[in-house]
Structure 1
Amino acid sequence: MTELKKDIQKEFKNYLKNLIVLIFTVIPLYFEISLAEKFINSQNDKLLWFMDLGIYNFIFSIIASTFMYFYSSLKTTIEIKLFYTEDKLKNVKIKHNENKQIILEITAKGKRKNIPGEMVLNYPDWLDMQIKGRPYLTSLDEQNQYVLDLQKMFNQQKEINQTKEIAIDLIGNGNPEEKNSIEIIPELTKGNRNPLRRVKFQGLKIEIKGN
């Protein structure tokens, strides 16, 4: 579902870019501002119109692509992934009372001021998550939640290009006869939106097997 959402967003951005280029292309054509007649000696209005259409479309496409490139270069990119083992598997199976270790990997590139404030990890009652204490970590056991202060995590410098990994111990709880599954996806707290930030998430599917 996450990959589908990304594909839809990408397609939407492409359509939006094409629409903006089309609007700016039509404006000089509407006011009969011709560039083609300066290069082509022709009295054929239709030919000149189509030539102008191609010229203006090319010019505004270059401008739009250049703007999007510089806008993207200003963005801070944060990738937050949950995975199992060094192979970075996206799913893990665990038995009741079994202990397995997963990894939370956070990569940040860009300006520190654009990093979001807090990120949360929620987990169900039938699963126990244990993370060693850190200055930027808060454990809310009653809510089955961990809160990570990303600003504290990346507080060394203004420009950052760094990856941090956090080991998490998983322990299966609950009724040994039951089977449960969930996909745990890290989330940002509300109010963390910023147009100069791009955040990518990768969740981990966890399945607990009955005896």
Structure 2
Amino acid sequence: MSEKRKQVKKEVLAALRNIFILIISIFFICTNLSIAKFFDFTDDPRIIWTVDIGIYNGILQIIFSIASYLINEKRLNIGVNIINKKEDSNELTIISDDSADKICLKINIKGKWRKLSGDLNIFFPHWLDIQTKSVPFLKIIDSENKCIIDLNNLMSSTTGYCNLKRSITFDILRNSDENNEDFIQANLNMSIFNKLFAIKFKNEGIKIKSK
């Protein structure tokens, strides 16, 4: 379901980009900035319109692609993936109450170092108890069943360019006999500017259910 949502989002963004480029092209043509008229090879308004639309679309597509490449080159890429440690998948079914299951949070950070305005937060459902080893950049708030990861602390050993990978293992145990199911993923609060231009956040969650 997550992959389908990502595909739909990608297609919608591509369509919006094409519409935006078309609007700019029409604006140029309506202000008499005609490339076809400049070369003066035809007087047919339909051919002039078609040529101008095609040329402006091509030029603007190239400009947008170059701008997107330059922006992505300067972005800080943060990838977060929560997996079932035993099966290396994004699904976990808890059957036994006798022993804890293990999930692994994998963090991959690469790109130009930037100070983040928010922490990485993971909220676990009430029917799960969680435990992990103590590390300087991680804090668990038991009252909220919440894990907070200070990425600025995690990146503090790097300067200029960041390239690091961290794995954090959680022991999880269900505290209810009911059949429950939740999708758990990390959340990173960012400003609109950071989200669009400075930070690329890729997030893969895990579906946990109990039987």
The TM-score range, normalised by the shorter chain, is: 0.7 to 0.9
In 2: Cα distance, 1:18 partner to 1:199 partner:
24
* Structure 2 partner of 1:72: 72
**Separation in 1 of the partners of 2:123 and 2:44?**
68
Counterparts of 1:33-182 in structure 2, within 5 Å, are 33-39=33-39, 41-85=41-85, 87-94=87-94, 95-115=96-116, 117-157=118-158, 158-175=160-177, 178-182=178-182
Query: Which of 135-144 and 7-16 deviates more?
Result: 7-16
| Structure 1 stretches lacking a partner, 5+ long | none
* Structure 1 residue corresponding to 2:204, chosen from 202, 205, 208: 202
Q: Residues 182-201 of structure 1: CA distance to partner in whole angstroms, max 9, x if unpaired?
A: 2211223x566523112121
| Gap runs ≥5 in structure 2 | none
Return 27-36 or 50-59, whichever deviates more.
27-36
Tell me which moved more, 123-132 or 28-37.
Answer: 28-37
- On the 8 A contact 2:115/2:152 being kept in 1, the answer is no
| Stretches of 4+ aligned residues off by more than 4 angstroms | 37-40, 190-193
Give the aligned residue type for 1:199: F
Equivalences, count:
206
| Partner amino acid, structure 2, of 1:202 | E
* Distance across 1 between alignment mates of 2:108 and 2:200: 12
1:3-22 to 2 correspondences below 5 Å: 3-22=3-22
* CA RMSD, Structure 1 to Structure 2 (Å): 2.2
Deviations 1:83-132 (A, max 9, x none): 01365211112221322221100111112215453112222333221110
Instruction: State the one-letter code of the partner of 1:108.
Output: I
Percent of pairs identical after alignment? 28
Q: Is the 8 A contact 2:76 2:109 kept in 1?
A: yes
Structure 2: which amino acid aligns with 1:145?
A: K
Q: In structure 1, what residue type is equivalent to 2:202?
A: K
SS of 1:41's equivalent?
Answer: coil
Distance, in Å, in 2 between the alignment partners of 1:27 and 1:44 is 20
Say which SS state the counterpart of residue 14 (structure 1) adopts: helix
Looking at structure 2, the residues matched to 184 and 46 of structure 1 have their Cα atoms a distance apart, in angstroms, of: 55
Q: In structure 1, what is the Cα distance between the partners aligned to 2:144 and 2:44?
A: 74
How far did residue 165 of structure 1 move? 0.5
TM-score, normalised by the number of residues in structure 2: 0.85
Name the CA shift for 1:60/1:130 in 2 (closer, same or farther; >3 Å). same
SS at match of 2:88: coil
Deviation of 1:76 after TM superposition, in Å, equals: 1.4
Which deviations, in whole Å up to 9, do the C-alpha atoms of 1:146-189 show, x marking residues without a partner? 211111112122311221101111223233xx32222211223x
8 Å Cα contact 1:21-1:64 kept in structure 2: no
In the superposition, relative to structure 1, how do residues 197 and 34 fare at CA in structure 2: closer, same or farther (>3 Å)? same
From the superposition, tell whether residues 125 and 167 of structure 1 become closer, same or farther in structure 2 (CA, over 3 Å). same
Q: How many Å apart are 1:63 and its aligned residue?
A: 1.3
